[in-house]
Structure 1
Amino acid sequence: MSSTIYVEAQMLIRKSIEDVFEAFINPELTTNFWFTKSTGKLEEGKTIIWEWEMYGVKSEVKVHQIIPNQLIKTEWGEPSTHVDYEFRVMEKGTLVVIKSYGFSQTGEDLLKIINDNTGGFTTVLDGCKAYLEHGINLRLIEDKFPQK
């Protein structure tokens, strides 16, 4: 097990910690920069389904812990990994740090999943920044792997 290895992506978003935190737990906001559908708001102890309709992909998200305006701890993916979202007040806004860990892959498969996680979470943070700061949905997730 490669549980000591983790992937980290971070971004300063020039909005209040309350606004940024809400964007990650409320699918009415999150669907503007990440997945296209959700079965509900993230709540501690709940399991939610996120969907990326353009790719025909769904993921079951288990919400392990929520500390309002500080931390969201989840587990999701296939095979599942832990993904934590940390929120920190900064002078110019909110720093969001996404950490993914608990990988079961090894060798080349581990390198691929680390690369996919790093790129994916960076894209999510970029999209979140554009949406919250400027009200723009850049369609980054949709355009990352265009079908035609």
Structure 2
Amino acid sequence: MDLKFKISGYIARPVHDVFEAVADPDTLSRYFTTGGAKGRIEEGATVMWDFHDFPGAFPVEVVEVVPDRKIVLKWEAYEGPPPEGGGDIPAEAAAGYQTTVTMEFDPQGDDRTLVTIAEEGWRETERGLQGSYGNCQGWAQMLCAMKAWVEHGINLREGFYK
């Protein structure tokens, strides 16, 4: 079984505005990266995303950018929290690897955009499955937060986490 997911939703703004809400670190920091984003999404760049609900900033590799259409990213796979009871994580599970995130921006006329976010590449283990569930939840929250920010200037994540 491939561990992957795809979510999508409509945002009532032109595709360029929606694309920039992800590509521009200042805008992304206003509704998604609760600890801030550093670096513009540009092909070949490594940007940093920081979240208050996870310690430390994450390096995010920008693999591909098609302006106003597509962003492909790679980042360290998240496999969920450590096992309950503090059990050891097998060496092969602790080794780092990356998943691939693909964001597509599909204009729907002049003032509406369909955003699709997919992520894939987890190991086919229980921990990989848990990590994919967690990231699916996170991307769904991001898409909702982006819609609220881009359409209404409301930050849904403010106060949502400790």
CA-to-aligned-CA distance 1:6-52 (integer Å, 9 cap, x gap): 21111100000000000010011111111132221111001111111
SS of alignment partner, residue 122 of structure 1 = helix
Query: Do structure 1's residue 16 and structure 2's residue 34 form an aligned pair?
Result: no
Unaligned runs of 5+ in 1: none
Q: 1:114: Cα distance to partner?
A: 2.2
TM-score using structure 2 length: 0.80
| Structure with more of its chain in strand, by fraction | 1
Alignment correspondent of 1:57: 56
Please say which of residues 72-81 and 25-34 is displaced more in the overlay.
72-81
SS of alignment partner, residue 103 of structure 1 = coil
Measure, in 1, the Cα distance between the counterparts of 2:70 and 2:29.
20
**RMSD between aligned alpha carbons?**
1.8
TM-score using structure 1 length: 0.87
Measure, in 2, the Cα distance between the counterparts of 1:53 and 1:120.
13
Give every structure 1 segment of 4 or more consecutive aligned residues whose post-TM-superposition deviation is greater than 2 Å: 53-57
Query: Do structure 1's residue 80 and structure 2's residue 98 form an aligned pair?
Result: yes
Q: Structure 2 matches for 1:88-127, cutoff 5 A? A: 88-91=106-109, 93-106=112-125, 108-127=126-145
Query: Do structure 1's residue 38 and structure 2's residue 37 form an aligned pair?
Result: yes
Contact 1:7/1:117, CA 8 A, preserved across alignment: no
SS of alignment partner, residue 31 of structure 2 = coil
Please say which of residues 13-22 and 72-81 is displaced more in the overlay.
72-81
Measure, in 2, the Cα distance between the counterparts of 1:72 and 1:114.
19
Letter in 1 for 2:116: V
Q: 1:57: Cα distance to partner?
A: 2.7
Q: What is the percent sequence identity of the aligned residues?
A: 30
SS of alignment partner, residue 30 of structure 2 = coil
Alignment correspondent of 1:70: 69
SS of alignment partner, residue 56 of structure 1 = strand
SS of alignment partner, residue 42 of structure 1 = coil
